[in-house]
């Protein structure tokens, strides 16, 4: 783990960091914020979120970003590492009354240089469909149709440090017929131009179609499918209306959901501490996982759909195998709640000792998922190839990152000695911390969806991890029915190890941000889990929630304090990493070798000043 030292250095805001691929550097001239650059007073406001879309215009600068700060929503041309940000000319700016934006998502399928569809969720429960290029408001969902939805005033007033045309909108506070609670997550359904999914703090999710109305009366539902801790209802009406489906998932707020790269599966994390993965079309529960304690706040998929990573109030990042439906590793580096997790498809790598050979079968390419640009697609192809060449020495490294309320950015490497422990290492590893251990028999049982065998080979060296367990293999699994993604992850057995002294002192842990230290003896803190009927003491030590010593404990490659306020955004782009904090500053970190692409800013149009 990269340590910062002590005292004053520990609290210093970092502007660069180094990993094995080189130097990442903060680009101050590429910072986006409100036009006046004044830090936002975030007390009591909703998290700042950022959404990107590429319009594929002929100028070669088709990237656009949207972000919310308080009751304001901005839409800018994103110039990335190429040019300095020009905050004086937002394409669109909206100020809302009576509610605040909480989340948003672009439809990448329909986006053009002339039009783009943007969904915006609000703290009062509404969902708005707008076009920030045409500056139009298309529809408002979860609002009574018989009422005037909103009123809008265009200003031509010259504001200090702004001088841009601004629209102010007020969402009328009337009865919301579908759900009155805050929107926590909104996303377009992958591959669809009209379907989108909305999650609320009530614990419900709703499937909408932009082409259908919501109706003037409260919807009536009939049960479609029910399972353990979830139920799905259809809307019962003579004519098709929104919502098409209502999902009730777990207990407490549904904090975030994420579609798998192929769009077939849906991962949901809730305040009850559970990850639940569903088959989206068949509405079947594929697998579950329980946090160590507290709620789960964020979730993401690996680029090939084989792993799910979560973060939450236990200060941990947890890696869950989709194929084996089990926790395969945890990462401890944050001192507070983890707010965002994301994979980096541009750094995830596969290296083979032999030249890649193609079998000529079309099946070799059926699971290639389009999740990025050319380099990311190349990585995906090699990841897919990895599972069909089990006998060939291959080095696999997944890179993912996390940010949290402790204002820290952590980067993690998930390497093949964790993922494929039966495979010999193809080369020497760096950042390895190996401890001597002995292997007792593995005999824990629980409510696991998949139960591999229980053989325990000698311990393997750990890449970037504390070896809290050894691992065993039963070979890779076959394909799952209906084209689900195959798994190459094998079973872990338990190792007893020397106790590790916690490197973080209580004074370093942000008050009111976390539920306590993480250790194998913290079962007494499990009582803090709220709004759940599941007894935490019964899940701890089962495959749903392995003990800390039962799975490898990853350490971050880097762990840097990069902001004054809690971090709420982490997005990996081809040339840079984008982060944002609750003060409303969206920061760009140039990747190694990409910083030199920056051209000089236009002094007349950019308030950002000169580049030093």
Q: pLDDT (tens digit, 9 = 90+) per residue, 445-462?
A: 333 333 333 333 333 333
pTM (2 d.p.): 0.73
Residue 186 has pLDDT above 50, yes or no: yes
Residues 245-274 pLDDT 10s:
999 999 999 999 999 999 999 999 999 999
Q: How confident is the model at residue 350 (pLDDT cuts 50, 70, 90)?
A: low
Give the DSSP letter string of 422-487.
TSPPSS--SSB-----B-PPP----S-S-------------BSEE--EEE-------PBGGGBPP-
Angle, alpha carbons 493-540-232 (nearest 5°)? 110
Q: Are residues 274 and 282 in contact, defined by beta-carbon separation less than 8 angstroms?
A: no
The CATH number of domain 19-48+98-147+171-351+394-421+553-590, selected from 2.130.10.10, 2.60.120.1600, 1.20.1440.80, 1.10.150.20: 2.130.10.10
Q: What is the mean pLDDT of residues 90-103?
A: 94
Percentage of the residues of the chain whose pLDDT score is greater than 70: 63
Q: What is the mean pLDDT of residues 20-47?
A: 88
List, for residues 390-425, the tens digit of each pLDDT value: 444 457 789 999 999 999 999 999 998 888 766 444
**Which two tokens mark 188?**
């377009």
Structure tokens at 71: 């009751």
Angle at 516 between CA 514 and CA 517, to 5 degrees: 120
Mean per-residue pLDDT, 18-38: 92
More confident residue, 73 or 508: 73
**CB-based contacts of 374, cutoff 8 Å, min separation 6:** none
Least confident of 147-151, 182-186, 308-312, 584-588: 147-151
Mean per-residue pLDDT, 6-27: 84
Tokens standing for residue 25: 């550097």
Asked if pLDDT for residue 27 goes beyond 60, the answer is yes
**Which has the minimum average pLDDT: 112-121, 293-302, 368-377, 586-595?**
368-377
- In the DSSP assignment, the letter for residue 488 is -
Q: Which residue has the tokens 């005033």?
A: 153
Residue 328 has pLDDT above 80, yes or no: yes
- Per-residue pLDDT at 577: 97
pLDDT band at 39; cut points 50, 70, 90: confident
What SS3 state is found at 524?
helix
How far apart CA 184 and CA 190 sit, in angstroms, is 19
Phi, psi angles (nearest 5°) of residue 271: -70, -15
Where do we find the tokens 């809290």? 468
Three-class secondary structure of residue 109 per DSSP:
coil
Distance CA 208, CA 401 (A): 31
Residues 330-339, mean pLDDT to the nearest whole number: 97
For 63-87, the pLDDT digits (tens) are 999 999 999 999 999 998 988 888 9
Report pLDDT for 531.
39
Q: Which helix (H) or strand (E) holds 566?
A: none
Q: pLDDT (tens digit, 9 = 90+) per residue, 549-566? A: 999 999 999 999 999 999
66: exposed, middle or buried (Cβ count in 10 Å: 0-12, 13-18, 19+): buried
Mean pLDDT along residues 280-305: 96
Q: What is the pLDDT of residue 47?
A: 94
Give CA–CA dist 84/77, Å, rounded: 11
- Can you tell me whether residue 166 is helix, strand or coil? strand
């Amino acid at each position: 783990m990269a340590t910062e030292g002590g005292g004053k250095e520990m609290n210093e805001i970092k502007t660069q960091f180094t990993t094995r691929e080189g130097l990442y550097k903060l680009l101050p001239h590429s910072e986006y914020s409100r036009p006046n650059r004044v830090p936002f007073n975030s007390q009591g406001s909703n998290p700042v979120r950022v959404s990107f879309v590429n319009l594929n215009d002929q100028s070669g600068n088709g990237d656009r970003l949207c972000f919310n700060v308080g009751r304001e929503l901005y839409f800018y041309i994103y110039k990335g590492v190429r040019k300095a940000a020009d905050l004086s000319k937002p394409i669109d700016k909206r100020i809302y009354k009576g509610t605040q934006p909480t989340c948003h998502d672009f439809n990448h399928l329909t986006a053009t240089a002339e039009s783009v569809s943007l969904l915006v969720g609000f703290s009062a429960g509404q969902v708005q469909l707008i076009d920030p290029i045409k500056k139009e408001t298309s529809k408002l969902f979860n609002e009574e149709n018989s009422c005037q939805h909103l009123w809008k005033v265009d200003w031509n007033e010259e504001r200090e440090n702004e001088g841009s045309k601004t629209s102010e909108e007020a969402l009328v506070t009337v009865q919301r017929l579908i759900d009155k609670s805050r929107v926590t997550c909104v996303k377009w359904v992958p591959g669809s131009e009209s379907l989108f999914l909305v999650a609320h703090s009530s614990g419900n999710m709703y499937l909408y179609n932009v082409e259908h109305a919501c109706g003037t009366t409260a919807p009536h539902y009939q049960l479609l499918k029910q399972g353990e801790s979830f139920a799905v209802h259809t809307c019962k009406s003579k004519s098709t209306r929104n919502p098409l489906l209502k999902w009730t998932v777990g207990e407490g707020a549904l904090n975030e959901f994420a579609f798998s790269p192929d769009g077939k599966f849906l991962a949901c994390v809730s305040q009850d501490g559970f990850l639940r993965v569903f088959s989206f079309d068949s509405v079947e529960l594929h697998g579950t996982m329980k946090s160590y304690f507290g709620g789960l706040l964020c979730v993401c998929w690996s680029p090939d759909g084989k792993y799910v990573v979560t973060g939450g109030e236990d200060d941990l990042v947890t890696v869950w195998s989709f194929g084996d439906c089990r926790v395969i590793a945890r990462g401890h580096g944050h001192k507070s709640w983890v707010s965002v997790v994301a994979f980096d498809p541009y750094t995830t790598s596969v290296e083979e000792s032999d030249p890649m050979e193609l079998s000529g079968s079309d099946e070799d390419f059926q699971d290639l998922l389009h999740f990025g640009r050319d380099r990311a697609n190349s990585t995906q192809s090699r990841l897919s190839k990895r599972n069909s060449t089990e006998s060939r020495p291959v080095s696999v490294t997944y890179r993912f990152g996390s940010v949290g309320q402790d204002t820290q950015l952590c980067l993690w490497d998930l390497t093949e000695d964790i993922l494929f422990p039966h495979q010999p290492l193809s080369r020497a590893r760096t950042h390895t911390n190996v401890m001597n251990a002995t292997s007792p028999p593995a005999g824990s049982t629980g409510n696991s969806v998949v139960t591999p065998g229980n053989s325990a080979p000698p311990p393997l060296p750990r890449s970037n991890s504390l070896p809290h367990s050894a691992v065993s293999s039963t070979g890779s699994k076959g394909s799952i029915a209906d084209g689900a993604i195959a798994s190459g992850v094998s079973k872990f057995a338990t190792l007893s190890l020397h106790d590790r002294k916690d490197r973080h002192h209580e004074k370093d842990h942000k008050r009111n941000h976390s539920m306590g230290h993480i250790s194998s003896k913290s079962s007494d803190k499990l009582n803090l889990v709220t709004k759940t009927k599941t007894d935490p003491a019964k899940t701890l030590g089962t495959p749903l929630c392995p003990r800390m010593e039962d799975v490898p404990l990853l350490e971050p490659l880097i762990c840097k304090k990069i902001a004054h306020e809690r971090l709420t955004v982490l997005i990996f782009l081809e040339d840079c990493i984008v982060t944002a904090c609750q003060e409303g500053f969206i920061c760009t970190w140039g990747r190694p070798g990409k910083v030199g692409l920056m051209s000089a800013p236009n002094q007349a149009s950019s308030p950002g000043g000169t580049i030093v």
